[in-house]
Structure 1
Amino acid sequence: MNTCRLCGSVHLAGVVDLGATPPCERFLTEAQLADPEPAYPLHLVVCTECWLAQIPPLITPEDTFTEYAYFSSYSASWVEHAGTFVDEAVSRLGLDDSSFVVEVASNDGYLLRQVVERRIRCLGVEPSVNVGEAARAAGVPTKTAFLGRETGREVREEHGPADLVVANNVYAHIPDIAGFTHGLRALVADDGWVSIEVQHLLTLIQENQYDTIYHEHFQYYTVQSARRALAGGGLSVVDVELLPTHGGSVRLWARPDAVAGEPSRRMIEVLDAEKAAGLHELSGYTEFAERVKKVRLELTKFLVDAALEGRTVVGYGAPGKGNTLLNHCGVRPDVLPYTVDRNPYKHGRFTPGTRIPILPPERIEADRPDYVLVLPWNLRAELTAQLSFVGDWGGKLLFPIPHLEIVEVKS
């Protein structure tokens, strides 16, 4: 990467280099195990002009999202989070049966189903064919498309302007920031609102969440850098909320410039916290690589020692973040013989790069392992409850981030 994709600056500084890995959602079939598997550098840099953290766009969104392995509805806590958001947005914005809501990257309709239940007109814009079909089957009107300037204009011309545009966990997934942001502006009414949820770079750095760095995440935002990105499309951030999702996210509330008004007090407070952490200058990024190294050493030592001592460790979950962790730590089936996942789409497939088999969750209770490595650590409360049965035979849970932690559970 030679220039910043947001401001065009050539002044980029390295933050952490995770080597080369395959795309994190490119799960392998058994037939593909004999084929070559492409891997791409995973090197996070930060622009010292606009402070956007980013990785090179070595794969395209079309490579990842035309058919996608992630279905949001398989996470009960994420569906609950979406329902809470819908309730609060309806109250905050006064939405009713005369309103129109658009969600970009609407996945399998996990959020908009709850809008449909309130008899509010809505539309999902989802690029993945397979998950879009699931949304339509659930009664959620869904357009299969990537959002850009033209798509935004087309949707507005056909359906009218949206009172609320929702873009949860997608603003990091697009290399064409300008085109996507102009698409958001085209969708939203001149007096409407845009709500964006994205992982907060502040918590990523502070909590050592480096496994959320992967090829489908092209950039990593502070409120400061997100504000600059949205301004390029005529949108002003006026309020923010700090959320616990994905280990620490930020919800940005933005409006068209002409109606935006002054930023809220809590937005100013978050900007001040980012500045105090050094994220508006290079000092906040310099020690991150050493903390990442420690996670790798802790996890690999534990897995190797357990294998040598005859203790069994299996995985729970096959999320994208888990594949960054497994590849960076060099984990293979000799120390982690399998992982399980609730998503049937992944059953019988293998994790990219590390080629660890993915099995149904029932396999854990049948095999009664000594330890279960929880890869979607961001769902800790939900999964600790789901896996409480592991305590029946004295098994324990392992959480790898922000540092290796062994947790005893009771059924």
Structure 2
Amino acid sequence: MTRCRLCGSTALESVVDLGATPPCESFLSAERLDEPEPTYPLHLRVCTDCWLAQIPPLITPEETFSEYAYFSSYSSSWVEHARVFVEDAAARLGLGEDSFVVEVASNDGYLLRHVVDRGVRCLGVEPSVNVGAAAREAGVPTHTAFLSPETGAEVRAEHGPADLVVANNVYAHIPDVIGFTKGLRALVADDGWVSIEVQHLLTLIEENQYDTIYHEHFQYYTVASAIRALASGGLTLVDVELLPTHGGSLRLWARPDEAAGEPSRRVSDVLAREKAAGLQELSGYTEFSARVAKVRRDLLRFLVDAAEEGKTVVGYGAPGKGNTLLNHCGIRPDLLAYTVDRNPYKHGRYTPGTRIPILPPERIAADRPDYVLVLPWNLRAELTEQLAYVHEWGGRLVFPIPELSIVEVER
């Protein structure tokens, strides 16, 4: 990487180098286990001119998202999060039968189904053919495409301008930040609203959430860098909410420049918090790499000790972030026998790079392991409840981030 993809600067400084890993959603079939896997460097840098944290665009969105292994509806807490958002947005913006809502990267319709239920006209714009098909089967109108200025203009011409454009957990996934932002502006009405949810770099740094760095996530935002990114497409940030999702996220409320007005007090408050954390100077980034290394050492020490003691350890979940963690730590089936996942698409497959088998969740109760390593740690409350049954045989849960935590669960 030689230039910042947002401002074009060459002033890029290293934050953490995680080595080289395969793309995190490239789960392997049994037939592919004897084939080589491509790996790509995973090195996070920050631009000291606009403070956008970023990795090189070594893989294309087309390689990752044309067929995708992640279906949002398999997380009940995430579906509930979407339902509450739709209710709140409808009240905030006065959405009704005459309104039009577009969601970009709408996945399997997990959010827009709630818009459909309210009788509000809507459309999903989803690049993954298989996931978009699932949305249509669930009754959510879905257009299969990657968002660009041209796609935005085409959708607007056919369906009209959107009163609300939602872009949750996608603003980090696109290497062409400026083109994508112009696509959002093309979709939204001149007096409309854009709502974006994206992980907050502040909590990523503070809570050692380095496993959310992977090749699908091309950039990592503060409010300060998000303001610059939105401006590149003619949008102005007018409000921000801090959310607990994904370990700490931003909900950015933006409007076309001409309709924006003054930003809320919450915008200036979060900007001040980021500045106090040193995220607009290098001091806020210098210790992160050492703290990442400690997470790795602590997890490996636990797994090696468990193996030496004859204890069994299995995983729960096969999220993309888990594959960053497994590959960075060099964990193989000798230390983690298998992991399980609720998504049947992943059953019978293997994690990329580490080649750990992925099985149905019922396998845990059948095998009664001593420890369950929870890879989607951001769903800690939901999964602690789901896995309460491991208490029956004295099993314990292990959370690797923000620091190693071994938990005895109770019913």
Alpha-carbon deviation of 1:308?
1.1
SS at match of 2:189: strand
Q: 2:216 — aligned with what?
A: 216
Q: Kindly state the Cα deviation for residue 280 of structure 1 after the two structures are TM-superposed.
A: 0.8
Q: Which residue pairs with 1:105 in the alignment? A: 105
Provide the secondary structure at the position in 2 that maps to 1:323.
helix
Hey, what's the Cα distance between the residues in 1 that align with 2:53 and 2:33?
Answer: 34
Partner of 2:358: 358
Matched, 1:326 2:307: no
Match for 1:242: what amino acid? Answer: L
Task: Give the aligned residue type for 1:69.
Answer: A
- Residue by residue over 1:340-381, the C-alpha shift from the partner in whole angstroms, topping out at 9 and shown as x without a partner, is 000000000000000000000000000000000000000000
CA drift at 1:24: 0.1
Partner of 2:176: 176
- What's 2:263 paired with? 263
Where has structure 1 moved over 4 Å in runs of 4 or more?
none
C-alpha distance after superposition, 1:296-350 (max 9, x if no partner): 0000011011011100000000000000000000000001010000000000000
Instruction: After TM superposition, list the pairs within 5 Å mapping 1:292-307 onto structure 2.
Output: 292-307=292-307
1:401 aligns with 2:396: no
Inter-partner Cα distance in structure 1 for 2:223 and 2:339 = 35
Gaps of 5+ in 1: none
- 1:120 aligns to what? 120
Paired letter, 1:68? Y
Q: Which residue number in structure 2 is paired with residue 231 of structure 1?
A: 231
Q: In structure 1, how many angstroms separate the alpha carbons of the residues matched to 2:301 and 2:66?
A: 38
Identity %: 80
Please state how far the C-alpha of 1:211 moved relative to its aligned partner.
Answer: 0.2
Cα drift, residue 410 of structure 1: 1.2
Aligned residues, how many? 411
Where does residue 4 of structure 2 map in the other structure?
4
Tell me the TM-score normalised to structure 1 length. Answer: 1.00
**How high is the TM-score relative to the length of structure 2?**
1.00
The aligned amino acid for 2:373 is L
Query: For residues 238-261 of structure 1, what are the alpha-carbon distances to aligned partners after superposition, in whole Å with 9 as ceiling and x for unaligned?
Result: 000000000000000000000100
Gaps of at least 5 residues in structure 2 are none
Aligned to 2:388: 388
Alignment partner of 1:283 is 2:283? yes
The one-letter amino acid paired with 1:219 is Q
Question: Within 1, Cα distance between the matches of 2:360 and 2:98?
Answer: 44
Q: Which residue in the other structure is 1:148 paired with? A: 148
Residue in 1 that maps onto 2:94: 94
CA distance in 1, matches of 2:36, 2:89: 47
Letter in 1 for 2:271: L
In the alignment, structure 1 residue 58 sits paired with structure 2 residue 58:
yes
The CA distance in 2 between the partners of 1:391 and 1:64, in whole Å, is 38
